[in-house]
A = this chain, B = another copy of it.
Amino acid sequence: MKRIKVAVAGAGRIGKIHIENIFERFPRVELALVADQSPEAETYIKGKGLNYANGFDAIVGNSEIDAVIICSPTDTHANFVEQAAKAGKHIFCEKPLDLSLDQVVKTLQVVEESKVKLMLGFNRRFDPNFLKIKSMVADGKIGDPQILKITSRDPGPPPVSYVKVSGGLFMDMAIHDFDMARYIMGKEVVEVYARGAVLVDKAIGEAGDIDTALTTLTFADGTMANIDNCRKAVYGYDQRLEAFGSKGMVKVDNNFPDNHQYYSDAGVHGSLPLNFFLERYTTSYLNEMNAFFQSIQNGSDLPVTGNDALEAMKIALAALKSVKENRPVKVEEIV
């Protein structure tokens, strides 16, 4: 099997995860180049003995590179994806493709014309617990799915400076849950109703965002999903899912560092869930990268496509509109 040559654009928090994974866990994938303009990243990259470039040009200009993994800031995504596509390189891009729906549509057209593969970083689809739910639902274990419930709470809010450019709670955080809802239910959302509130930090409200939300998704056949989001759960990262249907229900709990139970005179105690996405989704980051490489090497279908990004984004925009106008919003209104 031919060894794939990949480049990584962006060696920030999430870029480093992919770099470490490729470096340590995919010995037959060659990490040919890492591009990042920050001095810290340069030190990190060279410290690992990797080839360093200070711009994306070095990636698109290198004809030996088969695929690029884009982990740079959101405002570079659409541009980099288009450049990579035109250069004939397969692309893995962290979400979101862009905060503008028009731009996303345009970028996806460029990708389609270029005939390269584009996979979006909805890594949670590769979490063993969620995969179990997906396979049980797909196997008909719960019969016809009727209600999906997603709990998705972060351990703490990002800096307000980040909140301002993030696209907001729905585009930045809940978009993973919107993708999950489509993925598990296997059908499209037609209407969205969301209530939002600022209950965690007033500064988030002053930045024009919300930090807490309850969202109801309705699918074409009348089945429903409920998502509860909060930017801050003092007990850590809360990621749970429950699917209820005509023949049963299946749910998964959070992941924990261990399963100890301690009984003292003060009660029964256990460990908190794994604190945040780096710890919780370690396996899913690895699995998604494996799926990306396998698709390139075997020519198999990608498990997450550009269209998935587009649909999740429309739901996020509908949710935002719903909060602003306090009414249910049809997804088809989002154009």
Contacts and interface: CB of A to CB of B under 8 A. Distances in A.
Interface stretch (A73-81, A158-166, A229-237): A229-237
A32 B248 CA distance: 46
A146 B70 CA distance: 36
B260 A133 contact: yes
A193 B251 CA distance: 25
A285 to B, nearest CB: 15
B197 A222 contact: yes
A141 B263 CA distance: 10
Contacts of A262: 136, 141, 248-250
Tell me the dominant secondary structure on chain A's binding face.
Answer: mixed
Nearest to A227: B226
Contacts of A61: none
Interface string A213-233: 010101000111010101011
30 contacts: A25-B25, A128-B257, A128-B258, A129-B259, A132-B258, A132-B260, A132-B271, A144-B199, A146-B197, A146-B230, A149-B149, A193-B328, A195-B216, A198-B222, A200-B246, A212-B224, A226-B226, A233-B249, A234-B246, A234-B247, A234-B264, A247-B265, A248-B265, A250-B261, A252-B258, A252-B260, A253-B259, A267-B270, A267-B272, A268-B272
Contact of A248 (B235, B250, B270): B235
A147 interface: yes
B224 A214 contact: yes
Interface residues of A, number: 69
A176 interface: no
Contacts of A153: 244
A23 interface: yes
Given A214-B226, A238-B249, 13 more contacts: A23-B27, A133-B260, A136-B260, A193-B193, A193-B328, A195-B218, A199-B223, A226-B226, A228-B244, A238-B263, A252-B258, A267-B272, A326-B328
Contact of A265 (B226, B228, B234): B234
A269 interface: yes
Contacts of A24: 24-25, 27
A187 interface: no
Contacts of A199: 144, 146, 222-223, 246
A327 interface: yes
Nearest to A149: B228
A224 B195 contact: yes
Contacts of A142: 264
B272 A269 contact: no
Contact of A230 (B244, B248, B257): B244
A327 B27 CA distance: 55
Nearest to A268: B270
